[in-house]
Structure 1
């Protein structure tokens, strides 16, 4: 053993000497930053303008800390350069209806390009993960909090936060990699995260399986650095426990859904024309194209005596890629000759979203392995019958029976979505109201109040423990 250590020392000594100035600089930076630690909770959320369910969780998490521990400052690490304490507080109320106790402090990040998917055309996962290490270093060099709270799923930042002496808390919406992803690559299934070129090649598929296996191992290591883990669904918890281990520190806390604000909407609403609404960001995994194809088939197969339905896409665009995706979706509607019955609502305010949900007959969701599915719950709370993908969160937690009554539909391909939409259209008013009422009752399990109750109970464990220390 001594001989081996001597050999390794001799082999790597030139590298140690070469990088010693850098290593010393990094160590001194950490020591200096730790001495300036703030009595605060730092929320690592580089995109505070994405408009999705993850951003709602951020603001509810901030509000929960403010109510639970008023003595702690809440700091948001964001790459949105125009963000200010006042604008973020206003955004929380305008977009999500979340009224913060006070404006959060803001730390601006200027290296966000290192976590953008466009920076890594290939090996995107590992590229973004390594990039997040660099971004978290920038964040923590600017301000070191007592508690580092990741609300965006950047697990590779946890060891960095531990080096800076932070207690690490995270709310994980979905695992960066899952066993389902590995099995799809093994089966050579083409999806948004498995290029068709790779799926068709045996060699490339084998290489990708090796890549995914190595990445899942690394992901398990960095995830183990978290002191406290919250996940948003049964599906996510099962995968995170397998990857990160230690189930005693992993808690299922359903995300905050605006059920109270939507439950005041009347269940009775005009049925002509039937309106199908699809609420989600314009991202590839949301499968808008599939929904549009199914809608076109509905119109083709609709009895002429029945009114022609309307489809409303409601969502936000994070970047140019999302804008291009939205443009292609509009072109597809023209190609399918349904553009006269399809509407697109981009970056709507919370108030407008509520109005649209209040007029919808049913809501569409088509993402495979959606970790939870906040939009599905919002449909149910608003009185719109959900038609969701038959996998993960919607299947395991949301679209279940309520007092023995059906609350919606689960579908998996274009034909099944078409059939479900036609069933909704052909329902009598009494049938629709009965299902909508059961769905609304089911949605109360995922209320904002329930989130705060469970979230505070979990977070309080680490806050109280740290105070004792």
Structure 2
């Protein structure tokens, strides 16, 4: 019985192997002098997309003769629409429109495809997606701006120089710690957190995954990271400290710093800028806001909370609707506004009218929105962890630049403190925060990014 099976299994495996080898050889031979940006979602509207367009512009400025190509799963994307999007949504004017390579296997990196074992599923799915991308167009430089580290060995096989900009590690030592302590969070189901056996199984799964993640990450020729927190984790996991560079993400500090610091404070507006994703912890913000409103003295003006963010898919839309329902349940719906998928000009207008900006993601790798608050003149209330704590909300020339909080009570207290500030006190803190924000400007990103990639581009020219 085994012999008949072997007669067709071996030829089939050999045929598949030969086809793979042929595809790789063909890709290597047809490599173009180009930088291919692997960014399957070019319409997510977040800080990651801003990094993409600024990275494209930086490479165009550094090597004008280098063609820039975007690998995207957005089928309506074209050079013209992406060029317009960079300007309209982020104020980034590219030197020339990028070329587009459409991907049709993006479902393999979508979290909905993997109800369980999501990390490993999406990571292995990205391998398949990158294979599609590199077979269609093989560049000299493969640039990943979305954190798909499992694609790096594939790019190396195709003969590409691998450059990545990592916003956060797919798995971190903090995640392992939370599972070990059986803490329930958005990435650790309550059922698992309550079970010692399931927690041990998940720790083993995380340990295997972290080993694999370190192996594929070490394939990068250059790993740029966005914060001190991210750098510490990537250096530990990937083991390539000499090839790891901290490049703070581009924040629109120059444009936002033109907004006047003096602004109407009745009613005081508190802005929250973040995609409607589970890790952004919007429900905590609503609870804190409701508590702050309850604790305010009757003679003080009632504040307004403005949620501003983008929705990537149906799940995000559902989260947004849940927030609206929560606002009604907390009886603050008259004081809460929701702004979905706004244009960049509208975002600037909203930031210019806010006295404070709220952020509540635990272990936010950097926190572009926090910097934007500070540059715009809105006093930040950020989570006391990772990027905001280590890099951003730090004293400037001895002056405090904002507040750090961890739970509902601390956020509510910070909101009340800002509302109770005199105009002079608010302006003093806002001025210090704006000065601190200038350290994370878009121009600083361009300079640091080009400094980091220059040795690789010069060696390959």
Q: TM-score range by the shorter chain?
A: over 0.9
Instruction: Report the counterpart of residue 346 of structure 1 in structure 2.
Output: 340
Q: Structure 1: how far apart are the matches of 2:164 and 2:193?
A: 33
Is 1:149–2:175 an aligned residue pair?
Answer: no
Q: Structure 2: how far apart are the matches of 1:168 and 1:68?
A: 17
The counterpart of 2:381, out of the listed 387, 390, 395, is 387
Instruction: Report the counterpart of residue 8 of structure 1 in structure 2.
Output: none
Instruction: Report the counterpart of residue 437 of structure 1 in structure 2.
Output: 431
The counterpart of 2:69, out of the listed 59, 68, 75, is 75
Q: Structure 2: how far apart are the matches of 1:24 and 1:465?
A: 32
The counterpart of 1:192, out of the listed 172, 186, 206, is 186
The counterpart of 1:306, out of the listed 300, 304, 307, is 300
Instruction: Report the counterpart of residue 441 of structure 2 in structure 1.
Output: 447
- Over residues 359-388 of structure 1, what are the superposed CA-to-partner deviations in whole Å (9 max), with x where a residue is unaligned? 000000000000000000000000000000
The counterpart of 2:86, out of the listed 87, 92, 101, is 92
- Over residues 145-180 of structure 1, what are the superposed CA-to-partner deviations in whole Å (9 max), with x where a residue is unaligned? 000000000000000000000000000000000000
Instruction: Report the counterpart of residue 315 of structure 1 in structure 2.
Output: 309
Q: Structure 2: how far apart are the matches of 1:13 and 1:421?
A: 73
Say which SS state the counterpart of residue 134 (structure 1) adopts.
helix
Post-superposition shift, 1:15? 6.9
Q: Structure 2: how far apart are the matches of 1:32 and 1:419?
A: 62
Instruction: Report the counterpart of residue 126 of structure 1 in structure 2.
Output: 120
Q: Structure 1: how far apart are the matches of 2:377 and 2:104?
A: 43
Instruction: Report the counterpart of residue 256 of structure 1 in structure 2.
Output: 250
Instruction: Report the counterpart of residue 375 of structure 1 in structure 2.
Output: 369
Moved over 3 A (4+): 12-18
Is 1:44–2:22 an aligned residue pair?
Answer: no
RMSD: 1.1
Is 1:62–2:77 an aligned residue pair?
Answer: no
Instruction: Report the counterpart of residue 31 of structure 1 in structure 2.
Output: 25
Instruction: Report the counterpart of residue 4 of structure 1 in structure 2.
Output: none
Instruction: Report the counterpart of residue 3 of structure 2 in structure 1.
Output: none
The counterpart of 1:361, out of the listed 342, 355, 361, is 355
Q: Structure 1: how far apart are the matches of 2:11 and 2:435?
A: 66
Post-superposition shift, 1:20? 1.3
The counterpart of 2:111, out of the listed 110, 114, 117, is 117
- Over residues 124-158 of structure 1, what are the superposed CA-to-partner deviations in whole Å (9 max), with x where a residue is unaligned? 00000000000000000000000000000000000
Post-superposition shift, 1:389? 0.2
Aligned residues: 456
Instruction: Report the counterpart of residue 462 of structure 1 in structure 2.
Output: 456
TM-score by length of 2: 0.98
TM-score by length of 1: 0.96
The gaps in structure 1 that reach 5 residues or longer are: 1-11
Instruction: Report the counterpart of residue 176 of structure 1 in structure 2.
Output: 170
- Over residues 65-93 of structure 1, what are the superposed CA-to-partner deviations in whole Å (9 max), with x where a residue is unaligned? 11110110000000000000000000000
Q: Structure 2: how far apart are the matches of 1:221 and 1:16?
A: 30
Instruction: Report the counterpart of residue 229 of structure 1 in structure 2.
Output: 223
